[in-house]
Structures are given as C-alpha cells and as structure tokens.
Structure 1
C-alpha cells in the first residue's frame, strides 16, 4: 500500500461535507456554482462523483502536507466525439433522470452502470449536494457523492456514448503544475473557469467546464486545494487550431 494518509479519512471528510450542506451552513468554494442563474423548466439530471481506491497505481506525487493519499482517485470518463452535447469533454458519469428512477441518486447509479459497467452494489452513497442549474443544456444537475467500498472493473460500455473511462488520482489533480483556467469569449463577455490537465493511458486529458467547476469547489471546500497560478491560461482544443 502506497498511501501517505489513510484513504478512509477522505470518506469521513465527504460525509462531513454532505452533513454541512444539509444543515444549510455556508459552503466556501461553491460560490460560483451557487451563483449560476436559475433555468425555468430545467430537466432534472444527476452525476455520480465516485471517490475511492480505483486501482493499485498510486498518483505520481505526494500531497505536500500528506493530507491526500496517493491512492485516492475519482472516476471520470471522456464523452464520445460524435455526441451533439459536449463532445469529447471529460465528465462524471451521469445524465438525465428517467421516469423509472426513484430519485436523483438512483439516476446517478443507473447512468454510471450504463456508461462504465460499474457494479453499483459496491458503491456507498455518501449523499447529494445542492442541485446546480445549467443554462446551456437546460438541466438541473444534482452532484451525488459516493465512496467505492468494493471496486469493480469499469470501462467503455457504449462507444457511441463514451470514448474512455479512467481513474483520476486526486493528488495529481491538485498538483499546481496541472492546474490553470480556460477562457471563453462570447457576445455576453469573457468567462474564465478552472481547468485540470491529467495524464491517462490514452494521453493527456483536459478537465474543464462544469466538471472542473465541481472539482474545484469540492477541493476548496474540503481544504485540499494547493496554491496554483490562476493567471495560467490553458487553451481549449479548438483554440489551438
């Protein structure tokens, strides 16, 4: 075991975070997400944010104060390039709540199983965070925090939906060398958001947009964030063209 700190400590912190959200306490780190404009008629959706020891390969680096284990990972996927919405982007498993879903938690587990082959019986649900309105897709997305107590094999189930399914070592995501911002300019102004560069078996992946905003907010709220250069701009693929 290569841990620099017990992985279960992260589970306890996630449980405390959900309890804090449920109590209505202020949530520093989530200001941007809470400030997103309401979307009338938004369709309910959910994403599964699954932490745990996803494999036996540790992160490339130690967290400087040892607060994060090198074994702690979060499950992500790359969306297929052929999808109409957010093609090629890195995301959490998830999607729209279907009529047959009991609630957003059931929806997040169903989507994760369909997209990654996850054995949901090995997943412990920690709890849900406040739903976030997404104006672009007109969805109201509930992030569902979970802990992988009994890991199972995962991978691409449908190539029309996903191009890759992979672990993202949290200590590497927190590495200041892997952090920056993306800048998008529209007729409504300039929008800057957090971004993460992470190596995978299929090459370097850029995490940006909604997924990066959630990770950034989580890491900040949990006290895991290391100082990083907020002026470093990471270009999106189409900005490199």
Structure 2
C-alpha cells in the first residue's frame, strides 16, 4: 500500500467519480419508475476515537449493519445504513443521514459529509442508489434501533477488509450461477452483493486494494 493515500479522511474527502467507479453495466433500472435511495458510507477510526487526526486506511473502519432476516428485500444481508428518499429529505444526502439515524442511532452532529457519488442501479429492488461518503469526526454510540429492520450494527475494520485472505468472489447464489462479484469474509460475516461491489470499487478507486485471488469462491447462505 505504499502508493495509497496515508490519510483515510483526506482520501474520502477528495473522492472523485472516475470512469472506473463500480460499473453495473449488466444491471438495468428504469429511471422513470425506479425508486430513489441513498446509503451512508461512514468511515472513522477503528478504535472508536475522534477522527480529527490523520488516520491511515488500516486504522479506519466503516459502519455496517445486518438487515433483519424477515425483510422482503435483501433479508439478512450486510449493508450500509440507508433507504428510500422521502419528501422531506434534502436530497440523497439528507436521506442517507436520516436513515442512518433511524437504523443505527448515530448522532449526525459528529458526521462530516462529502460529495455524493453517482447513482448505481439495484435491479432486484428496482432502486437507483446514491452512495454518500462521510467521515466520523466524533463517534457516538450505535445500535440496532428497530429489531424488525436491523439485526446488528457494527464497525468493519478496513484493514481486515483489505486483507487478501478475507477477499472472496460470489459466483453462485441459491445454486444458480451469476456474474462473479467481489465479496469480503470477516469471520462469520459475509459482505457481498451491492455492498461488496461498492466497497471493492471504492478501495480500487482510492488505491487501497491489495492483490487478491478472485478465484476464492464463496456461496452465500441466503
């Protein structure tokens, strides 16, 4: 990682949307009928301390949650806090923050928001999703606010996500072959699907990715 930025916050704050940002060329969502959603990609210090000092990527973490297994869409999957835009939201940024508060109890006053990334299609739920990068300047307690929607909330250490031993590919779901997509295996937690693709693309864009074996396959339980 010698060529990667050594300050995670600075890298995220300068994040651009180059042509190689995660592409979903095989995915189609009708812009006229698709639901608009947003997710908060919140990074901070892995040890939970204030994130105002320079923090190397290996010392950072990202806030994730596991969706309730009873939900209709993406049950039991791990993802970013987020959800659909509502009339009172200040665009995708406002929706991402509101949903994060509702799902994880985060104090938004401690969050530094950066420019949102381009919409990405999520065909299975007919969504156009806007990722909103953010930095956790002043961490606050988080928890699964509504057990009917969220099973757990946790910080995923970026150093563990970047570890080549924890990288996987998903090429089969429910016994059916799919186009291979990147995933991350952290103990019993498998981060795959939309979230895995976005995290992998983010790390590629920031220059954080380490060489890994895309031939190491895993099949999700769900």
2:38/2:92 contact within 8 Å kept? yes
CA distance in 2, matches of 1:146, 1:213: 18
Alignment length (residue pairs): 212
State the 1:29 CA deviation: 4.5
Deviation at 1:28, TM superposition (A): 2.5
Identify which of 30, 33, 50 aligns with 2:42: 50
Aligned to 1:76: 64
Kept in 2: contact 1:39–1:133 (CA 8 A)? no
Partners of 1:181 and 1:108 in 2: how far apart? 28
Aligned pair in 2 of structure 1 residues 89, 107: CA closer, same or farther (>3 Å)?
same
Output aligned runs, 1:170-181, within 5 Å: 170-181=158-169
Structure 1 pair 158/192, CA: closer, same or farther in 2 (3 Å)? same
**Structure 2: how far apart are the matches of 1:9 and 1:117?**
27
| Distance in structure 2 (CA, Å) of the matches to 1:214 and 1:36 | 14
Q: Is the 1:34–1:132 contact (alpha carbons within 8 Å) kept by the matching residues of 2?
A: no
Which ranges in structure 1 are unaligned for 5 or more consecutive residues? 1-6, 58-66
Once residues 152 and 139 of structure 2 are traced to their aligned partners in structure 1, the CA distance between those partners, rounded to angstroms, is 18
Following superposition of structure 1 onto structure 2, how do residues 6-85 of structure 1 map, counting pairs within 5 Å? 9-17=7-15, 20-21=16-17, 26-30=18-22, 32-33=23-24, 36-40=27-31, 41-56=33-48, 68-85=56-73
Could you state the TM-score of these two structures normalised by the residue count of structure 1? 0.81
- Judged with a 3 Å threshold, the aligned counterparts in structure 2 of structure 1 residues 185 and 74 are, in CA distance, closer, same or farther, namely closer
- Alignment partner for residue 201 of structure 2, among 189, 196, 217? 217
Q: CA RMSD in A?
A: 2.3
